[in-house]
């Protein structure tokens, strides 16, 4: 196979060539001109290295790359990276320091920036130069076994695998057809996954038997789990068909609509493969500071990471990826943006932050980059048929004692779509205090509630709600909770406010078409002062939707208990009175927590005593006695579950569910199986995980625990006792809870130590990992060797699809790589959890 001839020639003096075509702005305005001494100060500027790929895609039509060509690509990427940063203009001092810290999207400026970003993304990520001419390609037997492939291709066996041969037969048949459009053949380009050399040691040897570590997964030997699979179940790295290579995303946004995954925003690397990574020695970065977990400075501030301004759409059924052209008010490239379904055709985007960079080139050829974050406060709606964006401004609805409230711009929040009744809201005038969140910016009014109800904003809300009721019966309501808001240049504050967003519909047409208003209303869901339980402030937590069906089901044992409870009551005499109780879940024999009525006035001490679901366990003595009627009353509507997260560097491990009908929170106690003590309450403290709920099974993928946060953000030393580190609860790549029992699956727990040093750890036997390629992980927990964060997990038709993100070895957190390939876990059709 002959390699294509490249007409591009890299200049010997890159910086001189760049300055000929670029008008480099001086470091003027209201900023201080940095001297060379100041620019090289370690406390201000940091040097970075390119991030390797843990997994990636390689085209079967890409010709072999020699070492000379790889060197040429490295120099070319370095030149275009410098040209990319030289195109960044300085921003006025007033915008950065005295103005709004939220991101703006002026039409002319945004269009110009998007055009520039698209040009550079084409140079960095497109393979128009690297793919051979599809009309002249010769697919011979020698090409299938070519020895000219680089090291990664040799190890993966891409061209020599049996899976590649049917594709070549398919492609040859396509070339026999009369196809005048060259792009049709390019859309049939097959991209096969490969594993990076730095992570190849995690691959299992081919003679290792598949072990089912958790009953959620079944035997999956026919799905190629041996190449890359922590659990050894039905997990595969999927190949994709696409005209363009699917880049590796980090801190991006992904949502599935009608079995299609829409990927947007985030960061992507400016190089397609490790061999093409540019040299970053000429870059010094004054990056975004005080980033909260799991935002890593070495990723966010890395000069080789550029913002993704494109939309990628992947069909889960056909594994086909397209990159459509966008129109309308396209949002700027945002990190940690959230998306939710607005209709079956429209997607609502909100939140996230934009990174803006300023560049100064000194006389020594050093590029000084100044990066700052700007949080987005605007909503965007995408029509998935026409790929047209429309912008929506959010107007907060006035509420009691607050006439002009503010919905704080945020990132790392929860955003979900729900269908709610259009009747009166559950929270009413009997709520004591609406301004419950300390972090919510509000302007109070002395005129009270009456003036708020008569304000123009309230009048707009009433009219828009009536319009939405008339035309928008199929339009979802958006629920937003928590996240970080920006209180200064590099200061971020976690929140715990809960909002409901409704987008008015102006008109609708055929095929699910809707025309939405330019302004949406955001109404706060209030909390009674010192009465209702409420989650603490947090961000980057796991959340998912769970149906009420799992709450209503009962087992035979629980059914017998229900009949006993209906016919018998326990009367105990005591001076203290406790109110009637009901369990969180109707079929949990060990959970007897008493959730409070959403508007019931209960002393704080009573709530604290009933916060644990073990207070009213079967067979346990009751300290306070009064007539207690054991009658199960499960919630009637759907709910969503949240777990973990963090408030800056404090990692949380509590689990909550929110009833959408009563608009009330309830804390849920999670348990572990202790062989000596039975069901023991535990907390799995992780942040940055992605969560989905499949039937009764709640799956959290990835995340960082408290010890890892201390090492990455607080500079603490790595653990000396590796075995003890591996025993930590929550170290699994997949953390699975059975919502029927609220119990951790796949592991037993035990208590070690005495007194203050007492703690719960995993009680599993040491795993025999002799099947690993190098044997370096012998005796360690297989399911906790790696973690992942900055990714998106979607549940579509019984399959968990993991898109993008970062992968890190738990024992070597500095070894972080991109997950460039899509990971899929095929789930059984029935629940196998025990």
Domain range for 578 is 552-609
- 235-237: strand order across its sheet: 235-237, 823-826, 799-803, 792-796
**Does 757 or 624 have the greater pLDDT score?**
757
User: Is the Cα torsion angle 197, 201, 202, 205 positive or negative in sign?
Assistant: positive
Q: Mean pLDDT in the chain? A: 72
Residue 470 placed within a domain:
no
More confident residue, 296 or 635: 296
pLDDT at residue 630 tops 50 = no
Instruction: Indicate if the pLDDT at residue 288 is higher than 90.
Output: yes
C-alpha 599/C-alpha 577 separation (Å) is 19
If one compares 174 and 772, the residue with the highest pLDDT of the two is 174
Question: What are the beta bridge partners of residue 668?
Answer: 655
Supply the pLDDT for residue 173: 75
- The C-alpha atoms of residue 339 and residue 148 are separated, in whole angstroms, by 43
In this prediction, residue 693 carries a pLDDT of: 87
For the ranges 40-44, 283-287, 443-447, 539-543, the one whose mean pLDDT is highest: 539-543
Range in 25-34, 357-366, 736-745, 777-786 with the lowest mean pLDDT: 25-34
Instruction: State how far the Cα of 829 lies from the Cα of 726, in Å rounded to an integer.
Output: 32
In a domain, 430, yes or no: no
What is the per-residue pLDDT across 705-745, written as a single tens digit (0 to 9) for each?
998 999 999 888 776 655 555 678 878 888 889 888 889 98
Query: What is the token pair recorded at 725?
Result: 């580190």
> What whole-number distance in Å separates Cα of residue 248 and Cα of residue 250?
7
Most confident of 55-69, 285-299, 624-638, 760-774: 285-299
**What is the three-class DSSP state of 1?**
coil
pLDDT tens digit string along 217-242?
333 333 333 433 444 446 778 889 99
Length of the chain: 834
pLDDT given for residue 114 in this prediction: 61
Token couple for 785: 């060797």
645 domain-assigned: no
Give pLDDT, residue 747: 82
Task: State the average pLDDT over residues 422-449.
Answer: 38
Six token digits for residue 337 = 């943006």
> What's the confidence (pLDDT) of residue 649?
95
CB 733 within 8 A of CB 716: no
Q: What would the pLDDT profile of 70-88 be if each residue is shown by its tens digit?
A: 899 999 999 999 999 988 7
Mean pLDDT confidence for 84-100? 56
Map residue 698 onto helix, strand or coil.
strand
Neighbouring C-alpha atoms within 13 Å toward the C-beta of 328: 15
Is residue 771 domain-resident? no
Q: How far apart are CA 222 and CA 795, in angstroms?
A: 21
Residue 293 has pLDDT above 50, yes or no: yes
**pLDDT class for 594, splitting at 50, 70, 90?**
very low
Instruction: State residue 827's pLDDT score.
Output: 62
Helix axes 67-86, 107-125, angle to 10 degrees: 170
Q: Give kind and range of the element (H or E) at residue 391.
A: strand 388-396
Rg (CA), the chain: 28
Q: Tell me what pLDDT residue 126 has.
A: 72
Instruction: Judge whether residue 654 has pLDDT over 60.
Output: yes
pLDDT at 813: 84
**pLDDT number for residue 322:** 94
The residue whose two tokens read 């569910």 is 657
Give the per-residue pLDDT at 809.
83
Q: What is the pLDDT of residue 463?
A: 40
Tell whether the model's pLDDT for residue 243 goes beyond 70: yes
CB atoms within 10 A of CB 352: 31
Beta bridge mates, 237:
823
Tell me which residue of 434, 440, 389 sits closest to 410, measured CA to CA.
Answer: 440
- The residue with tokens 């974050």 is 373
The residues, ordered by sequence, that sit 6+ positions from 313 with a Cβ below 8 Å of its Cβ are: 260, 261, 262, 263, 321, 322, 323, 324
Last residue of one domain, picked from the residues 373, 406, 441: 373
Closest by Cα among 540, 573, 724 to 643 = 540
Residue 225 lies in a domain: no
Q: Is residue 258 part of a domain?
A: yes
* Preceding peptide of 294 cis, ω within 30°: yes
Q: Given the DSSP bridges, would you call strands 240-242 and 414-418 parallel, antiparallel or unpaired?
A: unpaired
Q: Mean pLDDT, to the nearest integer, of 336-362?
A: 95
Domain end: 342, 373, 404, which one? 373
Please say whether the beta carbons of 653 and 729 come within 8 A.
no
The whole-model pTM stands at 0.77
Band (pLDDT 50/70/90 cuts) for residue 524 is very high
Closest CA to 356 of 326, 333, 377, 388: 333
Q: Which of 255-259, 288-292, 587-591 has the lowest mean pLDDT?
A: 587-591
User: Which stretch of 123-137, 274-288, 339-353 has the lowest confidence by average pLDDT?
Assistant: 123-137
Would residue 181 count as lying in a domain?
yes
Rounded Cα–Cα distance for residues 478 and 414 (Å) = 10
Please state the rounded mean pLDDT for residues 365-372: 92
| 587 SS3 class | coil
Among the candidates 345, 373, 401, a domain finishes at: 373
Which pLDDT belongs to residue 814? 83
The pLDDT score that the predictor gives to residue 221 is: 35
CA dihedral (535, 537, 538, 543) positive or negative: positive
Q: How many domains does one find in the chain? A: 2
The whole-number average pLDDT for the span 441-450 is 42
pLDDT at residue number 722? 56
Using alpha carbons, list the distances in angstroms from residue 327 to 111, 518, 584, 785.
10, 17, 47, 43
Quickly state the pLDDT bin for 765 (edges 50, 70, 90).
low
More confident residue, 14 or 652: 652
**Which residue in this structure is represented by tokens 């992947």?**
314
Whether 823 has a pLDDT exceeding 80, the answer reads yes
Give which of 696, 686, 700, 752 is closest to 724, Cα–Cα: 752
Residue 303 lies in a domain: yes
- In three-state secondary structure terms, 507 is strand
Q: Are strands 812-819 and 53-59 parallel, antiparallel or unpaired?
A: parallel
Ranges 153-157, 210-214, 553-557, most confident: 553-557
Say how far apart CA 599 and CA 432 lie, in whole Å: 9
Q: What is the largest CA-CA distance in the chain?
A: 92
Determine the pLDDT at residue 734.
81
Q: What is the DSSP string of 622-663?
A: PSS-S-B-------SS-EEEEE--EETTEE---EEEEETTTT
Q: For 142-190, what is each residue's pLDDT tens digit?
A: 343 444 344 444 444 444 455 577 777 777 777 776 666 667 778 888 8
């Amino acid at each position: 196979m002959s390699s294509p001839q490249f007409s591009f020639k890299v200049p010997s003096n890159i910086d001189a060539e760049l300055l000929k075509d670029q008008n480099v702005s001086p470091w003027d305005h209201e900023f201080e001109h940095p001297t060379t001494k100041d620019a090289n100060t370690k406390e201000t500027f940091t040097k970075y290295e390119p991030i390797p790929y843990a997994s990636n895609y390689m085209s079967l039509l890409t010709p072999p790359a020699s070492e000379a060509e790889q060197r040429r690509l490295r120099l070319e990427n370095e030149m275009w990276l410098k040209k990319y940063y030289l195109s960044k203009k300085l921003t006025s001092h007033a915008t950065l320091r005295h103005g709004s810290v939220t991101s703006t999207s002026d039409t002319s400026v945004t269009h110009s920036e998007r055009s520039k970003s698209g040009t550079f993304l084409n140079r960095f990520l497109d393979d128009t130069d690297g793919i051979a001419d599809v009309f002249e390609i010769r697919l011979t037997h020698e090409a299938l076994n070519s020895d000219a492939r680089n090291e990664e291709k040799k190890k993966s066996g891409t061209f020599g695998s049996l899976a590649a041969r049917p594709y070549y037969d398919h492609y040859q048949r396509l070339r026999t057809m009369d196809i005048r459009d060259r792009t049709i053949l390019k859309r049939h380009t097959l991209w096969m996954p490969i594993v990076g050399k730095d992570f190849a040691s995690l691959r299992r040897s081919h003679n290792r038997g598949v072990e089912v570590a958790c009953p959620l997964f079944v035997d999956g030997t026919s799905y190629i789990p041996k190449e890359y699979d922590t659990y050894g179940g039905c997990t595969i790295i999927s190949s994709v068909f696409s005209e363009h290579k699917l880049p590796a995303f980090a801190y991006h946004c992904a949502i599935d609509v009608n079995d299609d995954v829409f990927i947007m925003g985030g960061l992507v690397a400016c190089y397609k493969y490790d061999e093409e990574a540019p040299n970053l020695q000429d870059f010094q970065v004054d990056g975004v500071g005080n980033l909260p977990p799991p935002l890593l400075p070495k990723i966010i501030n890395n000069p080789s990471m550029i913002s993704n301004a494109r939309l990628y759409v992947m069909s889960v059924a056909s594994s086909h990826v397209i990159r459509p052209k966008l129109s309308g008010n396209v949002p700027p490239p945002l990190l940690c943006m959230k998306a939710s379904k607005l209709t079956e055709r429209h997607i609502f985007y909100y939140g996230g932050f934009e990174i803006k960079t300023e560049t100064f080139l000194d006389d020594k050829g050093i590029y000084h980059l100044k990066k700052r974050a700007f949080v987005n406060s605007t909503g965007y709606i995408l029509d998935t048929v026409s790929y047209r964006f429309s912008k929506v401004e959010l107007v907060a609805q006035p509420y009691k004692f607050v006439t002009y409230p503010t919905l704080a711009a945020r990132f790392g929040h929860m955003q979900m779509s729900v269908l709610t009744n259009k009747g009166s809201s559950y929270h009413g005038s009997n709520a004591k205090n609406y301004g419950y969140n300390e972090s919510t910016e509000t302007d109070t009014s002395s005129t009270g509630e009456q003036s708020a109800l008569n304000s123009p904003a309230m009048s707009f809300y009433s009219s828009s709600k009536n319009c939405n009721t008339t035309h928008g019966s199929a339009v979802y309501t958006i629920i937003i909770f928590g996240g970080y808001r920006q209180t200064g240049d590099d200061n971020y504050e976690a929140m715990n406010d809960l909002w409901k967003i409704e987008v008015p519909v102006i008109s609708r047409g055929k095929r699910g078409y809707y025309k939405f208003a330019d302004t949406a209303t955001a109404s706060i869901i209030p909390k009674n002062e010192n009465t209702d339980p409420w989650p603490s402030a947090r961000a980057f937590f796991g959340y998912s939707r769970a149906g009420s069906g799992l709450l209503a089901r009962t087992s035979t044992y629980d059914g017998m208990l229900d009949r006993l409870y209906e016919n018998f009551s326990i009367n105990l005499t005591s001076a203290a009175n406790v109110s009637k109780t009901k369990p969180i879940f109707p079929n949990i024999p060990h959970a007897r927590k008493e959730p409070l009525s959403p508007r019931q006035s209960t002393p704080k001490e009573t709530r604290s005593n009933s916060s644990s679901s073990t207070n009213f366990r079967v067979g346990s003595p009751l300290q306070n006695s009064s007539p207690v009627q054991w009658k199960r009353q499960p919630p009637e509507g759907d709910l969503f579950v949240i777990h973990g997260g963090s408030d800056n560097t404090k990692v949380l491990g509590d689990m909550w569910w929110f009833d959408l009908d009563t608009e009330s929170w309830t804390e849920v106690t999670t348990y572990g199986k202790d062989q000596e003590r039975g069901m023991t309450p535990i907390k799995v403290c992780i942040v940055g995980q992605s969560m989905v709920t499949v039937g009764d099974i709640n799956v959290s993928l990835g995340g960082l625990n408290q010890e890892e946060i201390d090492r990455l953000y607080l500079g603490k030393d790595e653990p000396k006792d590796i075995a003890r580190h591996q025993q930590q609860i929550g170290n699994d790549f997949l953390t699975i809870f059975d919502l029927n029992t609220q119990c951790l699956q796949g592991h037993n727990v035990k208590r070690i130590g005495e007194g203050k040093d007492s703690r719960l750890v995993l009680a599993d036997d040491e795993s025999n990992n002799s099947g690993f390629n190098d044997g370096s992980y012998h005796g360690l927990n297989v399911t906790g060797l790696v973690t992942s964060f900055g990714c998106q997990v979607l549940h579509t038709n019984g399959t968990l699809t993991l898109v993008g993100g970062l992968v890190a070895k738990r024992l070597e957190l500095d070894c972080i790589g991109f997950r460039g390939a899509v990971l899929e876990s095929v789930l059984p059709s029935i629940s196998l959890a025990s």
